[in-house]
Amino acid sequence: MKIAFYGTKPYDKIWFEPMGKDYGFDIHFIELPCNEDTIFLANGYDAICIFVNDYVNAAMIDKLYDMKVKAILLRSAGFNNVDIKAAENKLVILRVPSYSPEAVAEFAMALLLTVNRFTHRAYNRTREFNMSLNGLMGTDLNQKVAGIIGTGKIGQAMIRICKGFGMQILAYDPYPNKELDVKYVSIDELVKKADVISLHCPLTPETEHIINKDTITLMKQGVYLINTSRGRLIDTEAVIDGLREGKFGGVGLDVYEEEEGLFFEDRSNDIITDDNLARLMTFPNVLVTSHMGFFTQEAMQAIAIETLENAYALENGLPLVNQVGTDGAH
């Protein structure tokens, strides 16, 4: 199998290059992202492999089909960046449903601890021997209410971590897991009662902007908001309005709704024209990181193994357990 591997970074090759050879695959690493301008590079390949900020729309699906590309291998759990309906009966779409839920959940807690206790600001201060504590006061997490939106594997990992901190848990998920020892409530009740809100749900038409002007209005004063899932779960302008009004104790964002072309890249010498992102950076109680919640050795290795196992199953006619269809993930 010949695979066009889009959006290659040096750390991708650490696992995919040797593993690809072990599987007998011919992987061509492309540094460019997958989009309408680069899709022609897939000509002559059996499959393409893409990441979260690549996209494949209906027009690109048709081009891939004409080029006799058989599959799109997603090296991620989410699949909102592919037109699933357009791919039906044309291309097989395979994802990595679970690599290291703990990696993302642990990072979500790291964001919460940082914006709550201002460790990022303390680090900068003490490097200049400014030992003042003014402006660095946080709050105890013990006995606070954690509102977990989405109780899949990552959400469950976050629940375990929050329980370890002695937090009370409220959960929202349209498909409750009856085996979980948590109290499920409506989204309105969750945002009203939670001291901390952490997002762990996929991006769907139903969840897009689940955090918006109305839900923010319902939230407690001083609430903490953490997002390590997908940027468009949050209406950025509504969050900025809330920050301006002093609604949030802190906001930790590892994702951003307009992150394409920014995250995963070094733009330190560029003028950033995204006014909302620039505005977020000005708030002292906001921490933005560059979609790195998944980025551990264990997770990267698991992603490589699962992605190549998906390709192996396709090539050898084995059951495609990670195939995505128009009704969602199988």
Pairing of strands 2-5, 47-50: parallel
Determine the Cα–Cα distance for residues 105 and 228; give it in Å rounded to an integer.
8
* Catalytic-role residue among 95, 230, 232, 306: 230
Q: Which of the residues 75, 200, 232, 259 is marked catalytic?
A: 259
Contact 67, 42 (CB under 8 A): yes
- Dist. CA 237–CA 240, nearest whole Å: 5
Q: Residue 75 catalytic? A: no
Pairwise CA distance, residues 293 & 289, whole Å: 9
- Among residues 75, 200, 232, 291, which one is catalytic? 291
293: which 2 tokens? 């919640």
Q: In what order do the strands lie in the sheet with 145-149?
A: 183-184, 168-172, 145-149, 196-199, 223-227, 248-253, 286-288
**Alpha carbons 56 and 74: distance in angstroms, whole number:** 11
Q: Residue 232 contacts by C-beta under 8 Å, 6 or more apart in sequence?
A: 203, 208, 209, 257
- How far is the C-alpha of 277 from the C-alpha of 279, rounded, in Å? 5
Model pTM score:
0.91
pLDDT digits (tens, 9 = 90+) for 25-60: 999 999 999 999 999 999 999 999 999 989 999 999
For residue 291, indicate whether it is catalytic.
Answer: yes
For residue 298, indicate whether it is catalytic: no
In 192-302, beta strands by DSSP E = 196-199, 223-227, 248-253, 286-288
Give the residue ranges of the chain where pLDDT is below 50: 330
The predicted structure's pLDDT at residue 265? 87
- The pLDDT of residue 36 is 97
pLDDT at residue 329, rounded to an integer: 52
Ordered by where they begin, the domains of the chain are 2-99+296-329 (3.40.50.720), 101-288 (3.40.50.720)
Task: Tell me the CA distances in angstroms from 128 to 132, 241, 274, one per residue in order.
Answer: 11, 33, 31
Closest CA to 105 of 51, 146, 144, 156: 156
Would you give the DSSP letter of residue 41? G
Q: Tell me the C-alpha distance between 121 and 115, whole Å.
A: 9
Give the pLDDT score at 327.
57
Give the model's pLDDT for residue 264.
Answer: 87
